[in-house]
């Protein structure tokens, strides 16, 4: 079924209105009709009984006088006509055989026998007889007969009848009025349904307007009002709109990050490529001294290394950030891992003239051994790089509640306060290290943070009061070792 809520409401209302009006009128009309018939029957019966009693007394008199029973038919007829003209009923007097002796309705029926009529037959046996029949004219007529008694014997019957013409007229009049009432009722229903429909559908239409506007503007919300169901719908709509807005913001943010990443990568690629190209171009000239040749070739080699490292770092970062719970987990002894990382960096550190020491103990953690080793290596690499000759880098292991803590502290210049918030971003390098030709792309700390958060840990960078930077990594300790000290 299609159509608007308003038309459906209207149809339902009209149906209910017409059905109930029709049903109620039918019920009351039949009640009224039955009541009218009962009243008429009582009246006719009273008339029949009263005249039967009077006639009975009359017969008694004439029989007790010793004479034959003489019915003064003419007088009785006219007397009856007088009475019945006021009561609109017809009264007849019958003898013991059911033959008409007197009739208020005229002389036509005098002498004819009504013995065959059931109500007469009943009256002549002494009972009360009544019947409802249709007359030849199609009207409903009520017939009532009462026995006339003299002493113990039944000497005849009085017979009262009336057509129910007046009741039917009344009822048909009433029916016409009823039709009018139903019409008025239907009209009122129409107006009411229309108003109710408007009132009900207004918030729905507002919701529709809101939904259409949402497509263009994700910040559109609707005010929950109207019936409860519509309010619930509006609230659901608003939640949906929130979701859409949030995910579109996220999408936008992601888009921005991606494009920045791409431009960062291409920027990082350009620098070594320019250097390689410059060196190669110079080498192509004829008059290159042996010394220069060696210098340019080594530039090409180191810049190619830098490109290769950049590629592998990006790949690492991509793998870590793309991985979802795929790390090969095992019990990792942090002291051991730190020692291996430091030992591997020993040559670089001594070349930079920096001493590296490992102190303390930390509870074991559950994690990827190689990745955690990479965390320590990246941090120690930074520390030795940003510390001047003769400096000291300290790797300190400890426990903090149920966390294993690794601190890498150096005696360098520290990290400029302004750089701290963005330090762990991809390609982020402070101005100072940017100026240096040596050094990486600024991916080291991004990789470190990705690994640490992948292990459910945290990393913080700070400056020591005594000078130099300190980077603190916290990893959740293995459960069974958390309490053992």
Ligand X SMILES: Nc1ncnc2c1ncn2[C@@H]1O[C@H](COP(=O)(O)OP(=O)(O)OP(=O)(O)O)[C@@H](O)[C@H]1O
Chain residues binding ligand X by CB under 6 A are 313, 378, 382-383, 386, 410, 412, 415, 423, 428-430, 433, 439-446, 469
Considering beta carbons, is residue 120 or 358 the nearer one to ligand X? 358
CA atoms within 13 A on the CB side of 355: 5
Reported as type and span, the H/E element at residue 458 is strand 458-463
What single string gives the DSSP state of each residue in 383-425?
HHHTS-TT-EEEEEEEEETTEEEEEEE-SS----GGGGGGTTS
270: helix, strand or coil: helix
Considering beta carbons, is residue 202 or 434 the nearer one to ligand X? 434
Considering beta carbons, is residue 155 or 354 the nearer one to ligand X? 354
Q: Which of 51, 84, 164, 382 binds Mg ion (CB under 5 A)?
A: 382
Q: Quick one: what does residue 441 bind among ligand X, Mg ion, none, with the CB cut-off 5 to 8 Å set by partner type? A: ligand X
Stretch that binds Mg ion, among 62-70, 124-132, 359-367, 376-384 (CB under 5 A): 376-384
Least distance in angstroms from the C-beta of 320 to ligand X = 14
Stretch that binds Mg ion, among 222-230, 242-250, 389-397, 443-451 (CB under 5 A): 443-451
Least distance in angstroms from the C-beta of 282 to ligand X = 27
Q: Would you count residue 412 as binding Mg ion (CB under 5 A)?
A: no
Considering beta carbons, is residue 44 or 447 the nearer one to Mg ion? 447
Do 393 and 383 form a contact (C-beta atoms < 8 A)?
yes
Q: Would you count residue 444 as binding Mg ion (CB under 5 A)?
A: yes
Q: Quick one: what does residue 386 bind among Mg ion, ligand X, none, with the CB cut-off 5 to 8 Å set by partner type? A: ligand X
Q: Quick one: what does residue 433 bind among Mg ion, ligand X, none, with the CB cut-off 5 to 8 Å set by partner type? A: ligand X
Q: Would you count residue 163 as binding Mg ion (CB under 5 A)?
A: no
359: helix, strand or coil: strand
Least distance in angstroms from the C-beta of 447 to Mg ion = 9
Stretch that binds Mg ion, among 16-24, 338-346, 378-386, 450-458 (CB under 5 A): 378-386
Least distance in angstroms from the C-beta of 400 to ligand X = 21
Considering beta carbons, is residue 289 or 438 the nearer one to ligand X? 438
Q: Given the structure tokens 């603190």, which residue do they identify? A: 472
Least distance in angstroms from the C-beta of 386 to Mg ion = 9
Angle, to 10 degrees, between the axis of helix 369-385 and the axis of helix 334-351? 30
CA atoms within 13 A on the CB side of 139: 13
Considering beta carbons, is residue 143 or 386 the nearer one to ligand X? 386
Sheet of 392-400: strands edge to edge?
A: 355-360, 392-400, 403-409, 469-476, 458-463
Considering beta carbons, is residue 146 or 441 the nearer one to ligand X? 441
What is the dihedral angle through the alpha carbons of 439, 442, 447, 453, rounded to the nearest 10 degrees?
130
Stretch that binds Mg ion, among 134-142, 152-160, 301-309, 381-389 (CB under 5 A): 381-389
Token output for 65: 């006088």
What single string gives the DSSP state of each residue in 282-308?
HHHSS---HHHHHHHHHHHHHHHHHHH
Which of these, 127, 147, 143, 161, lies nearest to 59 by C-alpha position? 147
Least distance in angstroms from the C-beta of 383 to Mg ion = 9
Do 410 and 384 form a contact (C-beta atoms < 8 A)?
yes
Considering beta carbons, is residue 202 or 260 the nearer one to ligand X? 260
Q: Quick one: what does residue 439 bind among ligand X, Mg ion, none, with the CB cut-off 5 to 8 Å set by partner type? A: ligand X
Which of these, 144, 57, 141, lies nearest to 92 by C-alpha position? 144
Binding interface with Mg ion (CB under 5 A): 382, 444
């Amino acid at each position: 079924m299609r159509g608007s809520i308003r038309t459906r409401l209207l149809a339902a209302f009209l149906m209910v209105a017409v059905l109930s009006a029709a049903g109620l009128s039918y019920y009351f009309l039949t009640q009224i009709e039955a009541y009218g018939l009962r009243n008429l029957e009582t009246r006719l019966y009273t008339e029949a009984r009263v005249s039967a009693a009077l006639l009975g007394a009359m017969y008694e008199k004439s029989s007790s006088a010793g004479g034959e029973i003489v019915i003064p038919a003419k007088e009785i007829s006219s007397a009856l006509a007088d009475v019945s003209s006021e009561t609109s009923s017809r009264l007849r007097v019958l003898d013991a055989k059911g033959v008409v002796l007197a009739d208020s309705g005229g002389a036509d029926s005098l002498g004819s026998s009504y013995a065959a009529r059931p109500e007469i037959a009943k009256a002549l046996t002494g009972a009360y007889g009544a019947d409802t029949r249709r007359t030849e004219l199609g009207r409903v007529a009520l017939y009532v007969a009462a026995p006339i008694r003299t002493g113990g014997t039944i000497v005849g019957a009085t017979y009262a009848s009336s057509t129910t013409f007046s009741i039917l007229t009344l009822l048909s009049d009433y029916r016409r009025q009823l039709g009018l009432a139903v019409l008025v009722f239907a009209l009122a229903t129409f107006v009411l349904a229309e108003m109710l429909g408007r009132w009900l559908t207004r918030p729905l239409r507002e919701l529709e307007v809101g939904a259409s506007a949402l497509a263009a503007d994700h910040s559109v919300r609707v005010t929950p009002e109207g019936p409860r169901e519509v309010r619930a719908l509006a609230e659901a709509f608003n939640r949906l709109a929130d979701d859409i807005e949030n995910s579109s913001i996220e999408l936008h943010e992601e888009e921005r990050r991606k494009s920045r990443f791409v431009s960062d990568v291409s920027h990082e690629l350009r620098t070594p490529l320019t250097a390689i190209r410059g060196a190669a171009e110079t080498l192509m000239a004829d008059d290159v001294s042996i010394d220069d040749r060696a210098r340019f070739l080594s530039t090409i080699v180191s810049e190619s290394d830098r490109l290769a490292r950049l590629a592998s770092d990006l790949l690492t970062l991509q793998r870590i950030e793309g991985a979802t719970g795929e790390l090969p987990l095992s019990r990792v002894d942090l002291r051991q891992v730190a020692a291996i990382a430091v030992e591997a960096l020993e040559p670089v550190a001594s070349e930079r003239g920096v001493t590296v020491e490992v102190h303390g103990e930390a509870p074991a953690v559950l994690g990827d051994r190689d990745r955690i080793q990479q965390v320590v290596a990246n941090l120690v690499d930074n520390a030795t790089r940003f510390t001047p000759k003769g400096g000291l880098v300290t790797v300190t292991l400890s426990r903090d509640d149920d966390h294993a803590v690794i601190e890498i502290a150096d005696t360098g210049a520290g990290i400029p306060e302004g750089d701290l918030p963005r330090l762990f971003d991809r390609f982020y390098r402070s101005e100072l290290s940017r100026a240096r030709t040596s050094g990486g792309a600024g991916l080291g700390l991004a990789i470190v943070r990705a690994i640490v958060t992948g292990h459910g840990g945290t990393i913080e960078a700070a400056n020591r009061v005594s000078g130099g930077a300190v980077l603190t990594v916290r990893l959740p300790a293995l459960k069974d070792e958390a309490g053992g000290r």
